[in-house]
């Protein structure tokens, strides 16, 4: 089955994709393109899925590089395969033939490119990493490789949208304590519940950083089970585990 790949004009000229779950070899709750070794899916099946992604991007499977994601604000520079993958949540490179990848299942996958300097980046930005500055850290790492902030474009891929991201008052308080202006990213829900705009918050941070342009693809992982894995949906449906979506970019 052909893979289902979401791309964006802001990254035109740079091979990239936010891959949906369609077209993979996994079955059961992982049905489709599960690319997460951290899941309980069969490892050899995940390897097949990742190889399909690498093939689309025109790189060898071992050149599809990722990190051990821990919801941090840490970014690393990649010059070749990482073994073992370091604990971090963003990667940057100026090396041809390397594909940077991020795994998500509701959090924001963010792909970056400075086509003039030939520098790319990828970040995993859940609420914690985003609040702690992982997007700014990615941009700073790209600058260290010669990228210019004013030439960087960034795209947020499929992520959980505000109507489906219900949180408690303590969650909101964490953001308000960091900046009272962050209240704008919350809508009142039922009782003491709120709805948090994760991609809206990510877009705000990207635009505040002074990069050239930023966009969200406007795909909600929770709302579309046919195309996307969702951690939160798996919890609500009492599933034993969930698949991981992959987003990747290469020079």
> What is the separation of C-alpha 135 from the centre of its chain, rounded to a whole number of angstroms?
11
Spatial contact of 50 and 38, defined as CB atoms under 8 Å apart: no
* pLDDT for res 116: 97
Say what the alpha-carbon torsion angle 61, 70, 182, 167 is, to the nearest 10 degrees.
Answer: 100
- In the chain, the domains with their CATH numbers are 5-161+197-250 (3.60.140.10)
- What's residue 65's pLDDT? 98
**What is the pTM (predicted TM-score) of this model?**
0.97
Say what the alpha-carbon torsion angle 247, 168, 161, 190 is, to the nearest 10 degrees: 160
Residues of the chain with pLDDT under 50: none
């Amino acid at each position: 089955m052909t893979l289902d790949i979401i791309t964006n004009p802001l990254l035109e000229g740079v091979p990239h994709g936010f891959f949906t779950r369609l077209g993979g070899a996994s079955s059961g709750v992982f049905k489709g393109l599960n690319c997460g070794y951290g899941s309980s899916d069969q490892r050899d099946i995940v390897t097949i899925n990742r190889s399909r992604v690498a093939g689309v991007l025109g790189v060898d499977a071992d050149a599809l590089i990722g990190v051990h994601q821990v919801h941090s604000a840490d970014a690393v520079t990649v010059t070749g395969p990482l073994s073992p993958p370091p604990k971090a949540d963003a990667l940057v490179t100026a090396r041809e033939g390397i594909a940077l990848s991020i795994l998500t299942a509701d959090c924001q996958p963010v792909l970056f490119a400075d086509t003039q300097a030939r520098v790319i980046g990828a970040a995993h930005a859940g609420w914690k990493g985003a609040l702690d500055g992982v997007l700014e850290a990615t941009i700073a790492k790209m600058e260290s490789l010669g990228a210019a902030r004013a030439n960087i474009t960034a795209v947020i891929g499929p992520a959980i949208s505000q109507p489906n991201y219900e949180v408690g008052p303590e969650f909101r308080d964490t953001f308000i304590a960091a900046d009272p202006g962050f209240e704008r990213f919350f809508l009142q829900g039922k009782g003491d519940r709120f709805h948090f705009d994760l991609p809206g918050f990510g877009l705000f941070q990207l635009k505040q950083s002074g990069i050239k342009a930023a966009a969200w693809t406007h795909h909600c992982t929770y709302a579309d089970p046919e195309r996307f894995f969702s951690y939160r949906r798996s919890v609500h449906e009492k599933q034993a585990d969930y698949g991981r979506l992959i987003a990747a970019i290469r020079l």
